[in-house]
Amino acid sequence: MSRVTALGQRASHSPVGTFLVVLILYSGLVATALYAVFGADFPGLAPIPYAWAPMVSAGVTVWLCGESVRDWLGQLRNLRAGLHWYVAGIGIMMIGTEAETVVAALLGADVAVPYAPVGQYVFVFAVTLFLAGALEELGWRGFLQPRLQQRFSALPASVGIGIVWGLWHVPMILAGAGDFTVFWEYMLNVTTQSVVLGWLYNNTDGSLPVVMIAHASHNMPSVGTPTGDAPAVFTVLSGDAVFYLCCALLITLYAGSQTLTRDGSLPDVPGRLGEGLPRRGPRAD
């Protein structure tokens, strides 16, 4: 038996474990290389190869399992999810980013809206969508989500992905390529976002464009900043964490924790037939 065949058998037996091993190895190598070249002061676009780790890990695992890499990547062609899902994803993520500003404005507090060229927002969105953070979704939702929710219900699967997602970011954040003030709040934020993205993925029959655009929308810089007194709750928990937590709770109550869908269906695992709950039929839109 060749070494590749043996690796393939192990990967097929435990695809999620294989994904996590490749993720750790790739991320560790890239992080070490970045530290060696730049130290702790990374230029703006330097961490992009680190952001490819979930995508690379998923691709390697799909290949080792002998599944269809073409079908896995084919999720990127699933554009016809319905305009309302794109609007929902963008709206939730952008409102979350601006939650404290929106609440402060509604309560009559002063809000600063610094001028920023439209081109700056377009550039950040395009880089995130096509080169950086949004590509993570090929691993988080495009690989882990359908596999984990074949064994567990969709809510625990989404929460588990959120925990891995948050912990995976920590090396780059500690190196200065991001920030958080309170670790548990950051993890709550990422985990509740993962529930929202899992809901979008399941309800669009595995449409990665919907999820990736939502992800990129969250990474946009904030438009406004409260300058007056903010509600006391924001001294305990940030506005975006409060908003995403509320969204995750409402989604779970409305759609149910089993599938996060009203019709009880789940998208198939890309590249092979799904196991368990029925798949949603073809959409008219």
DSSP, residue by residue, 13-54: H-HHHHHHHHHHHHHHHHHHHHHHHHTT---TTTTHHHHTHH
List the one residue out of 172, 125, 164, 173 whose CA is nearest residue 141: 164
CB atoms within 10 A of CB 229: 11
> Three-state DSSP class for 55?
helix
Long-range contacts of 96-99 (CB under 8 A, 24+ apart): 96/193, 96/218, 96/239, 96/240, 96/243, 96/244, 96/247, 97/217, 97/218, 97/220, 97/222, 97/240, 98/222, 98/223, 98/224, 99/238, 99/239, 99/240, 99/242, 99/243
pLDDT by residue, tens only, the chain of 285 residues: 566 677 778 888 899 999 999 999 999 999 999 988 887 777 778 889 999 999 999 999 999 999 999 999 999 999 999 999 999 999 999 999 888 888 877 777 777 777 667 888 888 899 999 999 999 999 999 999 999 999 999 999 999 999 999 999 988 887 776 666 688 899 999 999 999 999 999 999 999 999 999 999 998 877 777 776 666 666 677 888 899 999 999 999 999 999 999 999 999 998 764 343 444 443 433
